[in-house]
Amino acid sequence: MADLPTTISLAEAAERLGVHYMTAYRYVRTGRLEAVKQGAEWQVETNEVDRMRAQSAADRTPTRTRNTRAHEYPRRLVERLIAGDEAGSWSVIEGALTAGMTPDEVYLDLLRPALHTIGERWAQGSVTVAQEHQASAIVLRLIGRLGPRFVRRGRKRGTVLLGAPPGDVHGLPSALLTDLLRGRGFEVIDLGADVPADSWASATAALARVAAIGLCATTPDNHRNVRDAIEHLRRVSDAPIVLGGNAIASGRHATDLGADQYSDSFAQAAALLDDAASTPRPR
């Protein structure tokens, strides 16, 4: 019969791992080693120490190093976000960047999956609403730190307007998409979450020219508001409207709500918006 895991102090864990106490503490803060704080002491399960020892041995095998680590980043980020640890979350991202992940990959292969996992755990009841809110606030701050890495100099390829429909509080998808598009040379105006229908129209009318509009619809059963925003936009602009996000089931669904195009991925959304921006329209 397998031994049940027992709990040891962080100092003992450091000894078993053959590292200094401060190194083990850094592993905890960056999510590489799972530990629970009891009073003033960190406690670590012995099987977690075994896992990390096995991991370190695998990491010493050169061909496996990068993949093994890349696979670990989302798990470590989820852990730090749920713990409400902003500095630790940033350390995970810095580690991923140092290991060669591009800022695009950090958004698509690290932040996006981490948000999905947090959403699943919230739905299962193992993450509280407060933890989900705190994690979202941290992600917003991480995006703030990563944003400058997407800035591109030179002539812009057109202005894209982004945001979420009325009644939809999910502002992170448009914040992520903003940077991804800026990295591709677009000027992007992000109106953020819960944009009233008439504000979509007034913002568009106030701009000299909008090449394309991207609507990020995440909240379920909010279709009337999506349709309403699109109707208001149509009154002031002939720019193509690309609709996407968790709440939109298919291309048919998007066109039924009045949009021109649909995509279920940011990569494709960028290509669609690119097409829309470079197709000449009568002024």
Residue numbers at the binding site for ligand B12 (CB under 6 A)? 112, 115-116, 118-120, 122-123, 132-133, 136, 167-173, 176-177, 214-216, 218-220, 242, 244-247, 263-266, 269
The answer to whether residues 28 and 21 touch, using CB atoms and an 8 Å cutoff, is no
* Residue 25: both structure tokens together: 């503490």
DSSP conformational letter for 154: S
Nearer to ligand B12, 44 or 89 (CB): 89
Smallest distance from the beta carbon of 279 to ligand B12, in angstroms?
A: 17
Give the SS3 label for residue 52: helix
Nearer to ligand B12, 39 or 220 (CB): 220
Q: Residue 28: which residues within 8 A CB-CB, separation 6 or more?
A: 10, 34, 35, 42, 44
The single-letter code of the amino acid at 155 is R
Please state, in angstroms and rounded to a whole number, the distance separating the CA atoms of residues 52 and 1: 22
* Residue 219: both structure tokens together: 């909240």
The answer to whether residues 226 and 219 touch, using CB atoms and an 8 Å cutoff, is no
Q: Quick one: which of 237, 258, 225, 253 has its CA closest to 161?
A: 237
The answer to whether residues 258 and 224 touch, using CB atoms and an 8 Å cutoff, is no
Nearer to ligand B12, 265 or 279 (CB): 265
Rounded to whole angstroms, the maximal C-alpha distance in the chain is 76
Nearer to ligand B12, 35 or 127 (CB): 127
Paired with 190 in beta bridges are: 162
The answer to whether residues 242 and 276 touch, using CB atoms and an 8 Å cutoff, is yes
Give the Cα-Cα-Cα angle 201, 279, 216 (nearest 5 degrees): 40
Give the SS3 label for residue 257: coil
Smallest distance from the beta carbon of 211 to ligand B12, in angstroms?
A: 14
Nearer to ligand B12, 33 or 273 (CB): 273
Nearer to ligand B12, 88 or 244 (CB): 244
Smallest distance from the beta carbon of 218 to ligand B12, in angstroms?
A: 5
Nearer to ligand B12, 121 or 156 (CB): 121
